[in-house]
């Protein structure tokens, strides 16, 4: 268990509870955090679950798969080095307090 802080494009923040093994997309949806559409339900085929992970947390995440990198290329908002598809990031204790920003558009 731990917490994830979601930041909206307008700067508003919401801290919610996360369970180990849940994807960050599932954490957002379980807590009705707006802005993560997740059209494909986590099948890595929509890129509507794009988030920007705060720089301080990026190093704690496993590397992006080639498929995730490909899908990020078609994200509605320009990806950066901190971009992840939130359905591909599994929450674990080391990520407690992780801050992710949701883009303006998905
Ligand atoms: S929910 Fe579709 S790629 Fe993440």
Q: Is the C-beta atom of 25 inside 6 A of ligand 1? A: yes
How confident is the model at residue 4, as a pLDDT? 98
Q: Ligand 1 center to residue 106 CA distance, Å? A: 10
Q: Ligand 1 center to residue 86 CA distance, Å? A: 7
pLDDT tens, position by position, 10-59: 999 999 999 999 999 999 999 999 999 999 999 999 999 999 999 999 99
How confident is the model at residue 103, as a pLDDT? 97
Taking CA atoms only, the protein residue closest to ligand 1 atom 3 is 44
Residue carrying structure tokens 């992840």: 84
Secondary structure string (H, E, C) spanning 11-78 = CCEEEEEECCCCEHHHHHHHCCCCCCCCCCCCCCCCCCCEEEECHHHHCCCCCCCHHHHHHHCCCCCC
Q: What is the DSSP letter of 99?
A: E
Would the pTM of this model clear 0.85, i.e. be above it?
yes
pLDDT tens, position by position, 61-86: 999 999 999 999 999 999 999 999 99
Task: Just give the CATH number of 2-101.
Answer: 3.10.20.30
How confident is the model at residue 41, as a pLDDT? 97
């Amino acid at each position: 268990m731990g917490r994830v802080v979601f930041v909206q494009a307008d700067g508003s923040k919401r801290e919610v509870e996360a369970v180990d093994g849940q994807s960050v997309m599932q954490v957002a949806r379980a807590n009705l955090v707006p802005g993560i559409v997740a059209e494909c339900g986590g099948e890595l085929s929509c890129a509507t679950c794009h988030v920007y992970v705060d720089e301080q947390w990026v190093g704690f995440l496993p590397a992006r798969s080639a498929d995730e990198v490909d899908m990020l290329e078609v994200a509605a908002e320009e990806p950066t080095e901190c971009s992840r598809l939130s359905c591909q990031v599994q929450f674990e204790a080391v990520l407690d307090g992780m801050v992710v920003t949701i883009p303006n558009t998905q």
